[in-house]
Each structure stands twice: as C-alpha cells, then as structure tokens.
Amino acid sequence: MMKAQSIVGYSQDRAESDYYPTPPSTTLALMRRELFVGTVWECACGDGRMAKVIKEYNPVYATDIRTDLGYGEGGLDFLTMNKSVSNIITNPPYKLGQQFLERALVLAEKKVALLLKLVFLESETRRSLLKNSPLKTVYVFSKRQKIYKNGDEGKNSGLIAYAWFVWDKSYSGKPYIDWIND
C-alpha cells in the first residue's frame, strides 16, 4: 500500500534525488504554448527526456546533480551554480521546488518554466514569493500526467495534478491560468 507521504513528496520511498522523469508529451505541451527566445538550461535533466524535446525548439544546455543517468553534464548542483542563461525549463526535485524557483529567477534572463505539482500554489510560505514574482501563466493539465518513480512504468502514476508554471521577467500583472488538454 502506498503511503500518503510518498504521493506528496516527502517519504523515504521517494526516488533517489527525486528522479521522476518527465514524459516527452508533457514537455511538448509547454513548447507548443510558450515561445522561448535563446538558449534553455534544463538544470535537472536526468536521462534527458525533457532536454531532447526542448532541443527541437531551442539550443539547450543540460545538467544534473547525478552522474549515472547518462545525459548532459553530471555532478553539477544547480543551486550552487552561477551561470546565467536566457531561459530555464525543468522538472525540479519536488522537495526543492521553491529553492529551484528562487535560483532560476536569479539566473534566467528571460523566462523560467517549472513543472510542479499544482499544490505548489497552496503554501503560506510560498504565497509572498509567488505573488511578488513575474509569474505569468499556470498551465494546468486537464489529464493527469503519467510520471513514474525512476522512470519505471507501472502502477501509482497519474495520482498527482501537475501544471507548468511560467515566469516571464518582462511581465507584470496577475498570473493567467490556462488548461492543457492535449
């Protein structure tokens, strides 16, 4: 039986380094809706599933803290790096979502897009950060995404509501919500 903590992201059963690879269709849904001008840094690239889709649209720089997944530059901790880039798109480790957002907003010159659980919106501690940031659009998936622990297809996927959160440094105003029904 699955523990509730593993669903929300805080159990000991979580994949190492919170490795839950993003299906190509999930990334494609974002790329069809948002224009990213310039290089995109995929800073938690894992095995490269997301970076390979982004590469069809933009030059991509891919890194990950792990070295055993075989894509991009491994052994690089995004939270301690000082590399500026036009855009950042990633599916961050959920337990580090806020830290990834804060760092990405410093390093990205134009846009940041993070694939996050929809509950990222409902936090007292993140409320000020979200309210005072250039959050432009939240694209909510109408259908649950099949995101598997360690990329191993099986049961217990599709239990979480996900959304693409997009920050645009040239934007000011309230965020817009749209739905993805691909």
The domain segmentation of the chain, as residue ranges, is 19-180
How many C-alpha atoms does 34 have within 13 Å on its Cβ side? Answer: 30
pLDDT 10s digits, 35-86: 999 999 999 999 999 999 999 999 999 999 999 988 999 999 999 999 999 9
**Rg of the chain over all Cα atoms, to the nearest angstrom:** 15
Which structure tokens are listed for 77? 């901790």
* Count of C-beta atoms within a 10 Å radius of residue 140: 16
Query: If you search the block for the tokens 């800073």, which residue do you land on?
Result: 43
pLDDT computed for residue 2 by the predictor:
41
> What are 116-155's pLDDT values in tens digits?
999 999 988 899 999 999 999 999 999 988 886 766 666 5
- Give yes or no for a contact between 97 and 120, defined as CB atoms under 8 angstroms apart: yes
Total residues found in the chain within this entry: 182
pTM of the model: 0.89
Q: How buried is 62 (Cβ within 10 angstroms: 0-12 exposed, 13-18 middle, 19+ buried)?
A: buried
Give me the CATH code for the 19-180 domain, please.
3.40.50.150
Per-residue pLDDT at 94: 87
User: Over the stretch 15-42, which tens digit does the pLDDT of each residue have?
Assistant: 446 778 899 999 999 999 999 999 999 9
Could you say which DSSP state residue 179 is in?
E
Longest dimension (CA), the chain: 46
Burial label for 46, CB within 10 Å (0-12, 13-18, 19+), is buried
Separation CA 120–CA 118 (nearest Å): 5
